[in-house]
Amino acid sequence: MTNKKMNNTISVDCVIFGFDFEKLNVLLVDRELKNEAVGGEAFTDLTLTGNHILENESLEDAAARVLFDLTGLENIYLKQFGAFCDPDRLKRPNDQAWLKASGRDPGSRIISVGYYSLLATENVTLKWKGRNVKWYPVSEVKDLAFDHMVIFKSALQALRRELLHEPIGFELLPEKFTLSQLQKLYEVILDVEMDKRNFRKKIARMKYLIALDEKQKGVAHKPARLYTFSREVYEKNRKEVLDFNI
């Protein structure tokens, strides 16, 4: 419990998604190598957030710790989606230089377990080890450090898949949200367009989406009704269905 020693071959990487009612974003951190002495050129690029696990810590706890260090939030939705351990995953020149500069053995094999998490993005303030942390639109992410592009793509795929089959979209919205916001979320993440009336008919069948006696305020149009998600109602009524059609 008080053992803070790090395990140097096992790490977690967190792909943190946020939604701003317009697009899906992901949190990335600047990686800046100024010192050319370690054998590479100076460079700046981007990584996911992550860390090595502590010797007495579970993977999930390590991911939650990264998330807490970053946002100060606890009990965030976290989902393990894959383990990444290719022999070459840290072998590009910039990555080798970075490992050397931060005092780690650039030759050692490190496995990273990926977790994605979903954040209702309003009112989150971000700080991480004095490094720059920023939201980037998912559609514009490219050229991440290490094998983080592979990890990121895998997370996105896992998220899309999960979103199709489980009610996790709500994790990206504030507790109270409008149906248009929910529809937009599905449209953006799944890259589809949906019909408003049909979407609402579908919603109407989901008993766990609860209409509140409350409306949006301060919008320059007819204010929308607010809804909330009830996990209890969902858990009571869940069923699954053969759907690998066509």
Partner DNA sequence: GCAAAAGTGTTGTCTCTACACCCATGT
Partner DNA sequence: ACATGGGTGTAGAGACAACACTTTTGC
Residues that bind DNA (CB under 7 A): 178-180, 195-198, 200-202, 205, 215, 217-225, 241, 245
Helix axes 148-165, 179-190, angle to 10 degrees: 130
> Does residue 205 belong to the site contacting its own copies (CB under 8 A)?
yes
Minimum distance of its own copies from residue 139's CB (angstroms)? 20
CA distance 224 to 25: 24
Residue 25 contact partner, candidates DNA, its own copies, none, CB within 5 to 8 A by sort of partner:
none
Question: CA 65 to CA 50: how far, in whole Å?
Answer: 9
Amino acid at 75: N
Q: Does residue 111 touch its own copies according to CB under 8 A? A: yes
Residue 87 binds which entry of DNA, its own copies, none, CB below 5-8 Å type-dependent: its own copies
**Per-position x/- string for 130-169, each x denoting binding to its own copies as judged by CB under 8 A, each - no binding:** -------------------------------x--xxxx--
To its own copies, the closest distance from the beta carbon of 94 in angstroms equals 22
Sequence-distant (≥ 6) Cβ neighbours of residue 223 within 8 angstroms: 215, 216, 217
Among 48, 53, 118, 188, binds its own copies (CB under 8 A): 53
- Minimum Å gap between C-beta 123 and DNA is 21
What distances in angstroms separate CA 15 from CA 50, 79, 155, 211, one per listed residue?
9, 10, 7, 31
Q: Are 203 and 182 in contact (CB under 8 A)?
A: yes
Residues in Cβ contact with 227 at an 8 Å cutoff, skipping those fewer than 6 apart:
176, 177, 178, 179, 182, 209, 210, 211, 212
Distance CA 100, CA 98 (A): 5
Closer residue to its own copies in complex, CB, 165/196:
165
Among 36, 39, 42, 58, binds its own copies (CB under 8 A): 58
Binding piece for its own copies, criterion CB under 8 A, among 31-39, 43-51, 63-71, 231-239: 231-239
238 vs 63, 182, 198, 217, 245, CA distance in Å? Answer: 28, 20, 21, 33, 20
Binding site for its own copies (CB under 8 A): 7, 9-10, 53, 55-59, 80, 82-83, 85-87, 109, 111, 113, 161, 164-167, 186, 202, 205-207, 237-246
